[in-house]
């Protein structure tokens, strides 16, 4: 059934006048009459009773009007829905992040994105860098919030945040009594490092910082993720070097302090496939950039 003829039929059925229907459709009356006649011929039924001075719908025409309105409304609704998905205002976006990214800027980005695009379903999951890399390459996620970034020729990485490192200590640690804590003076302390695997990782970044200060921690405890590491710190197992942003959220049993010594900091980045052109992704990137721009303003 020709959709254009359905549109023409609905106009005639609602106006019950070929002249007014033709004006409404912005076409001449003779072609409109021919299209309705062709529709009746295609269906093999009379839709409009023209035997009187004022036309009226037949029983078949009344049923078709009801069904045609429903079809056209569904088509219009589908068109609007597909257009919104195509523009990134609807649909879904899958974002994975490292555990330490849940502090600081990322929650603000998530909140701002949900506010700007409330009809986009945002699927969030925590993954380490290796899991993120596999998932984004295999198209299981759309964006990976990694620390510091994911390296692969299929991926593009955009910086999100650069921040210094700080010490995470048990709130009962004697180190809190010191005015200034030098990193080089901590070689006898137990360092809690994460992740345990795969390597190289953030753990190796911290070990390289210690090397720059002239030592390798004699005692090392490896945790699989940030949450486990900070839990070990809270019960006095050891100390950790962590991104400064994590200090924005209070954690029972944990205190944070700046330190003196080599501090190259750490970074968060947004990583995605180079061939991913979905508008939702670019909307997320734009929101993230806007959030960072606002945070940099004095």
252-287 pLDDT, tens digit each: 999 999 999 999 999 999 999 999 999 999 999 999
The 10 Å Cβ neighbour count of residue 1 is 12
Q: On the CB side of 66, how many CA atoms lie within 13 Å of its CA?
A: 5
CA distance 82 to 237: 54
Percentage of the residues of the chain whose pLDDT score is greater than 70 = 99
User: Which of 183, 168, 179 minimizes the C-alpha distance to 253?
Assistant: 168
**CATH superfamily assigned to domain 165-264:** Periplasmic binding protein-like II (3.40.190.10)
Q: Which residues of the chain have pLDDT under 50?
A: none
Q: Give the contacts of 20 (CB within 8 A, at least 6 positions apart).
A: none
The three-point CA angle 118-84-14 to 5° equals 115
Question: What is the per-residue pLDDT for 134?
Answer: 95
| Whole-number Å distance between alpha carbons of 42 and 31 | 16
Write b or e for each residue in 30-42: b if 16 or more Cβ atoms lie within 10 A of its Cβ, otherwise e: eebbebbeebbee
What is the model's pLDDT at position 298? 63
**First and final C-alpha spacing in the chain:** 63
Main-chain phi, psi angles of 260, to 5 degrees: -100, 135
Write down the pLDDT at residue 89.
83
Q: What are the residue ranges of CATH 3.40.190.10 in the chain?
A: 91-162+267-296, 165-264
Q: Which CATH superfamily is domain 91-162+267-296 in?
A: Periplasmic binding protein-like II (3.40.190.10)
- In contact, 263 and 151? CB cutoff 8 Å: no
Burial zone of 71 (CB within 10 Å; 0-12 exposed, 13-18 middle, 19+ buried): middle
The CATH classification of domain 3-86, taken from the options 1.20.950.20, 3.20.20.240, 3.10.20.600, 1.10.10.10 = 1.10.10.10
Predicted structure pTM score:
0.75
Q: How far apart are CA 80 and CA 291, in angstroms?
A: 29
């Amino acid at each position: 059934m020709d959709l254009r003829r359905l549109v023409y039929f609905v106009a005639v059925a609602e106006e019950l006048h070929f002249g007014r229907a033709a004006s409404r459709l912005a076409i001449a009356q003779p072609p409109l009459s021919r299209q309705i006649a062709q529709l009746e011929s295609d269906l093999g039924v009379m839709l409009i009773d023209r035997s009187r001075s004022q036309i009226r719908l037949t029983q078949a025409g009344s049923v078709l009007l009801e069904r045609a309105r429903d079809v056209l409304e569904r088509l219009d609704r589908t068109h609007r829905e597909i257009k919104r998905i195509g523009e990134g205002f609807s649909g879904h976006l899958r974002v994975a992040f490292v555990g330490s990214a849940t502090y600081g800027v990322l929650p603000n980005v998530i909140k701002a994105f949900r506010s700007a695009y409330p009809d986009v379903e945002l699927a969030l999951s925590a993954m380490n860098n290796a899991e993120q890399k596999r998932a984004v390459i295999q198209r299981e996620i759309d964006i990976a919030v990694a620390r510091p970034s994911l390296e692969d020729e299929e991926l593009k990485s955009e910086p999100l945040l650069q921040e210094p490192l700080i010490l995470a200590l048990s709130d009962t640690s004697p180190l809190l009594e010191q005015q200034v804590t030098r990193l080089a003076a901590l070689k006898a302390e137990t360092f809690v490092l994460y992740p345990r695997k795969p390597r190289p990782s953030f753990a190796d970044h911290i070990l390289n910082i210690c090397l720059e200060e002239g030592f390798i921690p004699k005692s090392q405890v490896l945790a699989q993720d940030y949450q486990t590491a900070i839990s070990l710190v809270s019960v006095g197992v050891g100390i950790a070097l962590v991104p400064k942003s994590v200090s924005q959220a209070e954690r029972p049993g944990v205190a944070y302090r700046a330190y003196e010594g080599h501090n190259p900091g750490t970074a968060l980045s947004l990583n995605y496939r180079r061939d991913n052109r979905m508008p939702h992704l670019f909307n997320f990137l734009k929101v993230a950039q806007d959030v960072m721009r606002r945070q940099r303003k004095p």
